[in-house]
Each structure stands twice: as C-alpha cells, then as structure tokens.
Amino acid sequence: MYYVYMVQCADDTLYTGISTGLERRIEEHNSSDRGAKYTRVRRPVTLVYSEEHPDRSSASKREYEIKKKMNRGEKLLMIKARSQSDS
C-alpha cells in the first residue's frame, strides 16, 4: 500500500509526498535527515491529508496531480472536505 499525503509546515506551507509508511515518513520529516529538504527547514510538520493507493504508479500520478495541477486554495478545500467527512 502506498500513501499520498500532505503536511502543513510550521510556516503554514503545504508539502505533498508519497510513502509506504505514513507514520514513519512524518517522523522523518520532523526529526531526521531523511526528511525532504523542503520540510527540514520548516519543522515541525503536521499531517493534514492522506489517501491510500494500491501501487506506486497510481500514488505517483496522484502526487503529481496535487503538486502540479492544484493551487493552494484547491488543496485547502480538499483537506477541509476530508476532515469534515472524517468527523
């Protein structure tokens, strides 16, 4: 299983990535050199969105859609919709 996720950084920016281990990856973003270069200088990060994908290919395609085709406002709406459906 692969996860596409978004974290909110300390400077209120959003970072999108993929991982096979969501909790491990968030921990890496917050306290390891293995975290993304972008997030290392914007710690701490908080997980604000995730979705599951069956394989790396579909996760990578979705990550690309979110990173390159969505603006910040669209991402925030997606986060809000997910949090409301989880409530």
Provide the pLDDT for residue 3: 98
CATH number, residue 71: 3.40.1440.10
Domain of 36, in residue numbers: 2-75
pTM reported for the whole predicted model: 0.94
- Cα 82 to Cα 70: distance, rounded to the nearest angstrom: 16
- Domain assignment present for residue 87? The answer is no
| pLDDT digit string (tens) for the chain, length 87 residues | 999 999 999 999 999 999 999 999 999 999 999 999 999 999 999 999 999 999 999 999 999 999 999 999 999 999 999 888 877
Specify the pLDDT at position 6.
Answer: 98
Q: How many domains is the chain built from?
A: 1
69 inside domain? yes
Q: So what's the pLDDT on residue 40? A: 95
6 falls within a domain: yes
- CA 67 → CA 32, 34, 86, 87, distances in Å? 23, 20, 23, 26
Establish if 84 belongs to a structural domain: no
